[in-house]
Amino acid sequence: MKTIDELLAGGVAGKRVFVRADLNVPLDGTTITDDGRIRAVLPTVKALAEAGARVVVASHLGRPKGTPDPAFSLAPAATRLGELLGSDVRFATDTVGESARATVAELADGQVAVVENLRFNAGETAKDDAERGAFADRLAELADVYVGDGFGAVHRKHASVYDLPGKLPHYAGHLIATEVGVLKKLTDEVERPYVVVLGGAKVSDKLGVIDHLLEKADRILIGGGMAYTFLKAQGHEVGISLLQEDQVPAVKEYMKRAEERGVEFVFPVDVLVSAEFPDLKTKAPAHPTTVAATAIPADQEGLDIGPETRKLYASKLADAATVFWNGPMGVFEHPDYAEGTKAVAQALLDSPAFTVVGGGDSAAAVRLLGFDEKAFGHISTGGGASLEYLEGKTLPGLAALED
C-alpha cells in the first residue's frame, strides 16, 4: 500500500487530488455536535494543500436514499473544515454535476473544495457493479490522483471507496496509514496481557469480533446493553433491560469456548436500574437505583454498570499491556448513567497499556465526557471498520488501495 508520503515526495503541485474523507459527523440541524472526524482528516488535507495540490474532498453523511436531501448536506462540514484549516474551502452543491465540475476547475494550487454528499447519487452505494463503476468514472473526471483517507467507510464496497481507486493512481492518507498500523498492534503484534472492553447496545453487532478475539485476547470485559444478553444466558433475570433473546445460544457457546481457551470473561456485578428510560434532551434527573446484576427487578431496566463493577473493571485493566475498547458501558449521554463509561475511560488513562478507543459511540463518549483525546494511545474514527478488521475480514477500501 503506497502512502501519501510517497505521493508528496514525487510532487503534487497543480495536480487535482481526490481525497475520500469521512466527514460523517453528527448534526443537530446544521450544527455539528462532534467534529472529531473532520479533525482526523486535517493532516492529509493540509499536507496536500501546502504542497500545492488542488484538493477535492468527498464524503458521505448519513443515509440519504440516493437523491439530494438538505438534511444530509455536507455544507456544515465544509464550513468547519475551512475553519480548522484557517482558509477558504469552496463547496460544490452537487457531486459530479455542473457545480462540482466548475468548482474543481476554478481551484488554484493549494486550494480546497468539498463536493456534496456522495450518497445523493444512487451509484455510490449500488449493488450493481456496472452502476457503481459508472459513478466512479464520473468521479474520476474530477481528479488526477486518489487518496483514501476515510477509514470509517473502508468496510463498504462503495464507488468512491472501492471502485474509484482502480481508476486513478492511488495512495493511503495519513489517517488510514495510522489506523492500519494501530490495528496491526491489536492483531499481529500484540503485547500481553491483552484486554478487550466491549459495550454498546446489541450483542449481535459484536459476535463476529468476540469470535475472533477469543483466539487472541486474554480477558474480555462486557458492559452496555449487550451485557444483559450475557446475564440472561447465565440464567439471571434482566427485567425490561435490552435483551436479544435469539442470541442467547450463541452467547452460551462463546462463554463455553472462553472457559476452554482460558480467556477470562468479566461481567457486571451491579447495575443502575430504572423503570423509565432517561430523557436525553432535558437531562432531567433520573434517580436510578443500584442493584446486584443477578437481582434486577422484573419491572426495571439496566442502564449503566454500578460502582462495584467500575472498581472491578478498573482492576482488570490495571495490569494490561494492550487494551481495545469499543462501546459505552451505559446511556452515557445522560449524566446519571455516564459514570460507568467515564470509569472505563479513566481506567484506560491510568493504565500503562497501549490503549485504543474503537470509534463510534466510544470516541464520542470520550469527547462528550471531557477527556483529553491525546491522552489515549489512539482513538479510531471507524467503529464498524475497526470491528470488521479485528474480525479478520477483508475490507474493500483497504484492498482497493493495495497494489
Query: DSSP letter at 108?
Result: P
Does residue 199 carry a catalytic annotation?
no
122 within 8 A of 68, measured Cβ to Cβ: no
Does residue 202 carry a catalytic annotation?
yes
CA separation for the pair 383, 392 (Å, rounded):
15
Does residue 384 carry a catalytic annotation?
yes
Q: Are strands 145-148 and 170-172 parallel, antiparallel or unpaired?
A: parallel
CA separation for the pair 94, 121 (Å, rounded):
9
CA separation for the pair 330, 250 (Å, rounded):
23
Q: Nearest CA to 388 among 118, 244, 186, 146?
A: 186
Query: In this structure, is the dihedral angle defined by the CA atoms of residues 219, 224, 230 and 234, taken in order, positive or negative?
Result: positive
Q: Are strands 145-148 and 54-58 parallel, antiparallel or unpaired?
A: unpaired
Q: Which residues contact 334 (CB under 8 A, 6 or more apart)?
A: 278, 279, 280, 283, 286
Q: Which residues contact 266 (CB under 8 A, 6 or more apart)?
A: 219, 220, 221, 222, 312, 313, 316
Q: Which of 148, 360, 382, 397 is catalytic?
A: 360
CB atoms under 10 Å from CB of 10, counted, come to 11
43 within 8 A of 3, measured Cβ to Cβ: no
Q: Which of 15, 16, 20, 37 is catalytic?
A: 37
How far is residue 118 from each of residues 144, 154, 167, 220, 245, measured CA to CA in Å? Answer: 19, 14, 17, 38, 37
Q: Which of 123, 306, 327, 384 is catalytic?
A: 384
For residue 250, how many C-alpha atoms fall within 13 Å in the half-sphere facing its CB? Answer: 15
Query: DSSP letter at 62?
Result: S
The secondary structure element, H or E, covering residue 78 is helix 75-85
Does residue 90 carry a catalytic annotation?
no
Q: Are strands 322-326 and 354-357 parallel, antiparallel or unpaired?
A: parallel
381 within 8 A of 37, measured Cβ to Cβ: yes
CA separation for the pair 225, 244 (Å, rounded):
10
**AA letter at 120:** F
Catalytic sites, residue numbers: 37, 202, 360, 384
